[in-house]
Structure 1
Amino acid sequence: MSLSIDFSGITQIMKTAVNDGRDFLYEYEVYSLLALSGAETPPKSMFIPRGSKLSEQSLTALPGDRVVLKIVSPTIIHKTEVGGVRIVANHADRIRSGMRRMLYEVPEQYSLWLERHREAAPAAYRNLRGEALEAAIRKDLAGVLQVQFMPPDSNTFGNELIVGLRHTREFGMVISAGLGGTDTELYAERFRKGQAIVASSTSLTDGHGFFEIFRTTIAYKKLAGLTRGQRRVVADEQLIECFASFIEIANHYSPDNPQSPFIIEELEINPFAFTDYLMVPLDGMCRFAPQQSAVEARPVEKIDRLLHPRSIAIVGVSATRKNFGRIILENIIGEGYPKENLRVIRPGEQQIEGVDSLTDLDKLQEPVDLLIVAVGAEQLPELIERVITLGCAHSVMLIAGGLGETAASRQRAEGVIKQINQAHTAPDGGPVFLGANCMGVISRPGGYDTWFIPREKLPLHTATKVQRAALISQSGAFMLHRSHQCPELHPAYMISMGNQTDLTLGDMLHYFKDSSAVDVIAVYAEGFNDMDGLAFCEAVRSAVFAGKVVIFYKAGRTPEGKAATSGHTASLAGDYMVCESCVRQAGAIVARTFSEFQDLFFLAERLHGCSIHGNRLAAVSGAGFEAVGMADSLTSDDFHMQLADFSDQSVKKIQSLLESKQLESLVSVVNPLDINPTADDEVHAGVAEILLEDPDVDALVISLDPLSPAMRTLQDPENTKYDMNAGGSIKNRMVELCETADKPIVTVVDGGTLYQPLRQALIDLNIPVFSVCDRAVKALSLYMQGRLAADSICAAKGIDAWN
């Protein structure tokens, strides 16, 4: 879409405000900005400064028999609540009367409002009360804006639109849109996710792309006349043009554009009303700031040395006790890393655990690929300075906690960050640092384990196949507990990021998006560094284009709108909503709970090679309650699956199989398919094979009915007829089936510890298995929906990521 946006004219409006001592635009200046943006023409308006004397002809110059008067003040955001908006007859005496009344009454009403809402008071008013507060408000009144009155097509609920931009610390410029008007905050709070307000990174979308997101909202359904008693009031093309204009403005006045002298902190129109298929802005605000200085880039390519080090040195190993450094040394050795490529920095010792010990870092003959620092945080500033000065390491792992986590340690952390950033200005970029407060890394391709957990506490799981996956966690404890509780998760890399003193989540995604050793990337995040959320999303999208699956969980979620601090409705795209929206739109599959995260990661590891063409599910069980449970689990606010309609050929084949087992009178061939508790291993596997060949089926969930007397589901039983390892057992049949099937297969073994050997055997053979059917259906639904969404993102760019 070609838009004619006068950026030089918009910049001049901002420069004029700066010359006036302001970092914001008044409403009439926002209208001027819109007029230069190539979007709809705003209503005619005239600013009347306080104390000015205008002629009757000037006062009544606007068209129409009525005009709107609005108070103009740098501190009053919500004008309606304090009597700051009035509609009067377009006569000079009515206009003068209305202006005088507003200039006196608004300070009184705003003062009373602030007494009831002290938390919303601007900084300049927080210590004022009574007459002093009212006087300060009156002093800040700039005047009155007179605006052309344009009656809306409809005053019914939902016929106003909010569109806003916001500069976020983590994701840069974000656009949001949804139900507008005075109750926008209420809509965002009360409507379920994505129904009232939607948001997107402007770097990851365009006008058409954001319109497709907006189409899912109640706001669009109301404006497009898709609800009972409504008629369309705006064309789709108008909305697309509006969104495209806002996105182009955002990307111009962005931290990513150093040519722009300003960054838009917030730009909002609330609301757009609609008159005869015209989008009419009825209120607007804009805040801006000077352009930021660029941050020195980190040499992300050195992550490869961190994950696949040819040499490792450790600082902080005790010769006499099992401190963190000693445990790390033992775990590295226990993983099989060659001792001859290891060094310990420890004065007074020749060797520790058979590893040569050096007295100081300067005794290293050449820079090591990885230096592990397991000393107290108070020693880090001096040690880091020495590492940088000596150039003795390409990458450094900072294990110590207490660096920036408390108020007392923040100054120390700032000093460390300054040292590291300065090192990155060197020709080779200096070393990269992982941590601090980092639990370490397990790199199976790199052959080492630096977690400081003793083997007695966390034994190795060697039976499960190492998966082509990476688990990246800002919390070491989260990663530790997930890996211990779910040994079926067996990624090639497990990386504890710590507090991101240097290397960030975005850096790690940037590395793994190009890794030939990884197909699946799972991320637990607690927060992003400045602009790193955007870098993370850009890396997620590149990973998706490369055919990888990204699973994401964000801790610290808050209800939509609760994180807004300015009180502006454009801030309704609260922190978690913005994060979820941006990461999801980049192509990641977003988990809402720890259980979802585990299940999605588990499925992604096992099902990455499967083809997914739709959301039609076949569900099979020998227990009626499971069949019902599967059907009940197909739909939620976050996903939607549908039961496949079996083809006539599949129905005939299943009926023939049932007849051969004399089960035809007990089973109706419908979906979900309850094949009866008397169905044996052959029936289960045969039905599964038939349905996987059905072109109308996209995936299969099948319960293996472990307690059924007809099934072979026990490990080493006294009665060999139940032996799960016997020829023709369901385990062996499922292995054969999964080796050739192209569609996702998820199994269910709903039974106690007696059937854990069967579950584990299936997992070890790379077959997804769950202990409860509804959890299996939910996890598979979320996974397939995420894969299909990623396919759509790729298709929009003409990319076939899976071939």
Structure 2
Amino acid sequence: MAGNFDEIAAQALEEGRTYLMEHESKRILMDVGLETTGAHLASSADDAVRIANQLGYPVVLKVLSKEVIHKSDAGGVRLNLQGAEAVRSAYHEMEKIFRERGMIGVSVQRMASPGIEVIIGVTRDPTFGPVLMFGLGGVFVEILRDVSFRSIPISEEDAESMIREIRGYPLLRGYRGISGDIDAIKSILLRVSDLVEKHSIIKEMDLNPVFVYPMGYTIADARIILDSSSPSPAAMHPQSAGDLKGLFYPQSIAVIGASNTKGKLGWNVFYNLLTHGYRGRLYPVNPNAAEVQGVKAYPSIRDVPEPVDVAVVLVPAGMTPQVVQDCCAAGVKYIVVESAGFAELGDEGKRIEREILSIVRRHGCRLLGPNCSGIINTNCGVVESIGVVDELNRGNVGLIAQAGVYAAGYLWGLRKVLDFGIIATIGNKLDLNETDMLEAIGMDENIDVVCMYLEDVKGGRRFIDVAREVSKRKPIVVLKTGRTEAGKKAVSSHTASLAGNDQIYSAVFKQAGLIRARDNDHMFALARAFSKQPLPINDGVFVISYAGSLGVAAADAIVMNGMRLAELSPDLKEELRSVLPKYVSGMNPVDFTFDQTPDQVRRTIEIAVKSEDVGSFIVIIQTEMLGAYIDTLRSIDYRGRPILAVVASKEFVIEDTIKMERAGIPVYSTPEQAAEVLGAMWMYRKERR
């Protein structure tokens, strides 16, 4: 197989073309065991008739040209030819049209029997490398764009989910006597993935149409486009950054640019380290001060008498290369450049970045930033933020943010209801990037859930590999901005035209087991639940409400998010009736009306929790009575089940909302929000099994 591919690809490139003609493409596909309609080269009308007679009618003729990629659009396809004269006539017509366009002949192939039409393709994404696409053909792909994507290589589970997630899946499964061989489709997807993984020179591929039958399939048309500059598989899998424990748990920190002037960034960073309980050694570096904030200062990092694990750099961009050189020479392991004025400002900044990167690579140091806000680790009192940070509680939430100001802005308010363990800001990610941070935080036993704010991803294939491993141990919630595209470059294949950048990000996140958030509110709504509550033990939800309309809204939202209302056994229903007022008829949702009391809710939960069908709880509370519920809900034994509270207009009772959150029970404004979060928690549990 490899021999044929290499031979065909080498011949094409030698002729100065990257486009493989249909007969070449199908030969490659058949070599890996894929079924096609064939593609027999005929260089004359007589050849075409002879081949057609051997195949049997009807047949199809397609132009073979080194210049014509889109044969149908150019008028280079003749279908359902029923005899020799029709074949001869079709050949001569094509010859007239394409003689001056590199025509070498035609492809003669049997006419495929009708079936369910699907499209399978490959495109190369600049971030994630080769990406596989699947969808139904015809109107489904042309108008509805009903397609799914996964990064190559794929697993059997990936292939299965690609097929199931398209809207046209019910047609494949069987509808009004029509069905498709799903196992056959999985086989095509896996074989194409394997082919592309072995041959990184493949840039794009279209198998369109592929006719799928109740048993089997046939590939009617194929197109492969090469790119000899495509990166090798090894280049798509950069190496791990290794153990970064010294960055997150340093024994000593130097702040280069530490200041005695309140309001300066150098003052802020050093003040944060002094006031947040950091117990390691601190070394302010400032050539113009004997002391900084009461601590002995040093003129240069080279003058610090003891080893330094982390150097936080706060000097102008133009001075940074020399400072980085000094840090490396002094044996500093990790350099955090919080200064701005680099690539984000243009060519000169990019030049400085290249110089810095050359220095750290030469010395084997690791660098975070530039243009970041450093690391916060509440587990050891490390607070390198450029903004003054008030008191922080030790927490179990990790946050990786590309923008330092983003992290600082949200930290101010969120710290009241969400306890962060580690916040890592990566800035321009000149050296260390989001994947390095995720790998390190993913191994940290103090962190139970990871949030990521990303503008882009560097080293996409490694990101998938690391994220997939981390998500097996703890949930990862990702907010990816830049979801719209201002424009699109011209592309050669149908697959590439369908592969929007954001669509690929969504597919990759799903493939790696990540939970994609719509916006900041959604991300932190998920983080509050994952960090404070256990996962649902099953998909059954028990709802308690003071208003029937809110209970109905919860029931609808629960079903829409892949869960269901739990069912109590007859014995438990009878027990529940003993605590319900006579005017309450429903058993789930339970509607206590506006007379609902904390004790009623407690007694109801203590009965419902005995049911194995109840996997989680949503409790809808009167806004003005929220404070009365805090101690009651905190004291209940939920037997490993999560509980989420719903309080309409909770912002008007913010103090009680904060107290409830501090009691470990997340509070949401609507039943729909709570049900969506619960659905994400249940889906994560199911997929992690």
TM-score (normalised: structure 1): 0.79
Contact 1:396 1:432 in 2 (8 A): yes
Query: Is residue 336 of structure 1 aligned with residue 277 of structure 2?
Result: yes
**Is this contact kept in 1: 2:357–2:431, CA < 8 A?**
no
Structure 1 residue 336 displacement after superposition: 2.5
- Please give the secondary structure, in 1, of the residue aligned with 2:344: coil
Q: Does 2:107 correspond to 1:146?
A: yes
1:785 to 663, 683, 686: 683
Q: By how many angstroms is 1:153 displaced?
A: 2.5
Using the TM superposition, give the Cα deviation of residue 642 of structure 1 relative to its aligned residue in structure 2, in angstroms: 1.4
Q: Does 1:615 align with 2:535?
A: no
- 2:41 is matched with which residue: 35, 42, 47? 47
The separation in 1 between residues aligned to 2:450 and 2:420, in whole angstroms, is 9
Offset at 1:537? Answer: 2.1
Q: Distance in 2 between matches of 1:513 and 1:454?
A: 27
Unaligned runs of 5+ in 1: 1-5, 107-137, 189-195, 254-261, 715-723, 725-729, 792-803
Write the distance in 2 (CA, Å) between the matches of 1:583 and 1:753.
Answer: 32
- 1:179, 1:218 within 8 Å by CA — same for their partners in 2? no
Aligned length: 684
| Residue 392 (structure 1) aligns with | 331
Following superposition, the deviation at residue 86 of structure 1 comes to: 2.0
Which of 220, 234, 244 aligns to 1:282? It is 220
Q: Give the Cα separation in 1 of the matches to 2:67 and 2:411.
A: 52
Determine the structure 2 residue equivalent to 1:534.
Answer: 461
Query: 1:298: how far off?
Result: 6.2
2:599 aligned to which of 682, 685, 702 = 682
Distance 2:673 2:45 in 1: 72
8 Å contact kept, 1:692–1:700 = no
How much has 1:434 moved relative to structure 2?
0.9
1:295-374 counterparts in 2 under 5 A? 300-320=241-261, 322-338=263-279, 341-374=281-314
Which residue in 2 is equivalent to 1:573?
Answer: 499
What displacement does 1:438 show?
A: 0.6
What is the aligned partner in structure 2 of residue 117 from structure 1?
none
Whether 1:70 aligns to 2:62 is yes
State the one-letter code of the partner of 2:74.
Answer: V
Q: 1:315 to 1:298 in 2, by over 3 A?
A: farther
Residues 103 and 593 (structure 1), Cα distance of their counterparts in 2 relative to 1, 3 Å cut: farther
The 5 A counterparts of 1:532-681 are 532-545=459-472, 547-558=473-484, 565-571=490-496, 572-607=498-533, 610-636=534-560, 639-658=561-580, 663-664=581-582, 666-681=583-598
Instruction: Give the direction of change, closer, same or farther, for the CA distance of 1:206–1:518 in structure 2 (3 Å limit).
Output: same
Specify whether residues 362 and 61 from structure 1 end up closer, same or farther in structure 2 by C-alpha distance, changes over 3 A only: farther
Residue 250 of structure 1 corresponds to: 196
Alpha-carbon offset, residue 494 of structure 1: 0.9
| Higher mean C-alpha deviation, range 488-497 or range 298-307 | 298-307
CA–CA separation in structure 2 for the residues paired with 1:55 and 1:615: 64
Tell whether 2:406 aligns with 1:478: yes
Match of 2:3 among 5, 8, 13: 8
- Trace 1:67-466 onto structure 2 (pairs within 5 A): 67-74=59-66, 76-87=68-79, 89=81, 94-105=86-97, 140-154=101-115, 159-181=116-138, 184-188=141-145, 196-203=146-153, 205-207=154-156, 209-224=158-173, 226-227=174-175, 229-232=176-179, 234-253=180-199, 262-274=200-212, 277-290=215-228, 292=231, 300-320=241-261, 322-338=263-279, 341-388=281-328, 390-409=329-348, 411-412=350-351, 415-416=354-355, 418-419=357-358, 422-423=361-362, 430-455=364-389, 459-460=390-391, 462=392, 465-466=393-394
Question: For residues 394-432 of structure 1, what are the alpha-carbon distances to aligned partners after superposition, in whole Å with 9 as ceiling and x for unaligned?
Answer: 111111223222442464156246515733xx6xxx111
What amino acid maps onto 1:287 in structure 2? Answer: I
Shift of 1:584: 1.7
CA contact (8 A) 1:206 1:247 kept: no
- Distance in 2, matches of 1:102 and 1:421, equals 61
- Equivalent position amino acid for 1:282 in 2: A
- Per the TM alignment, residue 499 of structure 1 is displaced from its structure 2 partner at its CA by 1.9
Q: In the aligned structure 2, how far is the partner of 1:537 from the partner of 1:55?
A: 50
C-alpha separation in 1, matches of 2:100 and 2:379: 68
Sort the Cα spacing of 1:695 and 1:336 in 2 relative to 1 into closer, same or farther, 3 A: same
For 1:490, which of 419, 426, 435 is the aligned residue?
A: 419
Give the structure 1 partner of residue 452 of structure 2.
523
Preserved CA contact (<8 Å) 1:88 1:94: no
AA partner of residue 149 (structure 1): R
Q: What stretches of structure 2 of length at least 5 have no aligned partner?
A: none
Whole-angstrom CA distance in 2 between matches of 1:380 and 1:565: 41
Over aligned residues, Cα RMSD in angstroms?
2.8
In structure 1, distance between residues paired with 2:272 and 2:94 = 74
1:750 deviation in Å?
3.0
Asked if the contact 1:59–1:95 (Cα under 8 Å) also holds between the matched residues in 2, the reply is no
Cα gap change, 1:420 to 1:289, in 2 (>3 Å): farther
Which AA in structure 1 matches 2:446? Answer: A
> In 2, are the aligned partners of 1:403 and 1:409 still within 8 Å (CA)?
yes
| Structure-2 separation of matches of 1:551 and 1:733 | 30
Local SS of the residue matching 2:55: coil
Q: In 1, are the aligned partners of 2:48 and 2:87 still within 8 Å (CA)?
A: no
Q: Which amino acid aligns with 1:566?
A: V
Matched, 1:699 2:637: no
SS at 1:28 equivalent? helix
Q: By how many angstroms is 1:683 displaced?
A: 0.6
- Matched-pair contact (CA < 8 Å) for 1:361–1:392: no
Asked whether the equivalents of residues 48 and 88 of structure 2 are also in contact (C-alpha less than 8 Å), the reply is no
Which residue identity is paired with 1:473?
A
After superposition, the Cα gap between the structure-2 partners of 1:175 and 1:299, relative to the gap in structure 1 and judged at 3 Å, is closer
State how far apart, in whole Å, the 2-side matches of 1:238 and 1:528 are.
34
Question: What is the rounded CA distance, in whole Å, between the counterparts of 1:151 and 1:395 in structure 2?
Answer: 62
Aligned to 1:110: none
Equivalent AA in structure 1 for residue 288 of structure 2: G
CA contact (8 A) 1:381 1:415 kept: no
Q: Matches of 1:481 and 1:668 in 2, distance apart? A: 47
Residues 326 and 103 of structure 1: CA distance in aligned 2, closer, same or farther (over 3 Å): farther
Asked if structure 2 preserves the Cα contact closer than 8 Å seen for 1:549 and 1:787, the reply is no
Q: In structure 1, what is the Cα distance between the partners aligned to 2:431 and 2:596?
A: 58
SS of the equivalent of 1:687 reads helix
Give the TM-score taking structure 2 as reference length.
0.92
Q: Can you list the C-alpha shifts for 1:706-747, whole angstroms capped at 9, x where unaligned?
A: 43xxx5x55xxxxxxxxx4xxxxx322211115x53111112
SS of the equivalent of 1:747 reads: strand
> Could you tell me how far 1:620 is from its partner in structure 2?
0.7
Indicate if the aligned counterparts of 1:397 and 1:435 stay in contact, CA closer than 8 A. Answer: yes
Report if the CA contact (8 A) 1:64-1:148 is conserved. Answer: no
Equivalences for residues 717-736 of structure 1 within 5 A: 724=628, 730-736=629-635
Q: Is the aligned partner of 1:17 residue 2:21? A: no
Equivalent AA in structure 2 for residue 684 of structure 1:
V
The question of whether the paired residues in 1 share the 8 Å contact of 2:121 and 2:133 is answered with: yes
CA apart distance, 1:60 = 4.3
Q: CA offset at residue 100 of structure 1?
A: 4.3
Q: Are 2:429 and 1:500 aligned?
A: yes
Report if the CA contact (8 A) 2:79-2:111 is conserved.
Answer: no
Pick closer, same or farther for the CA change 1:595–1:563 going to 2, 3 Å. Answer: farther
- Displacement of 1:702 after TM fit? 0.5
- In structure 2, what residue type is equivalent to 1:736? S
Q: Is the 8 A contact 1:45 1:62 kept in 2?
A: no
Note if contact 1:506-1:536 (Cα within 8 Å) is conserved in structure 2: yes
What amino acid is the match of 1:221?
P
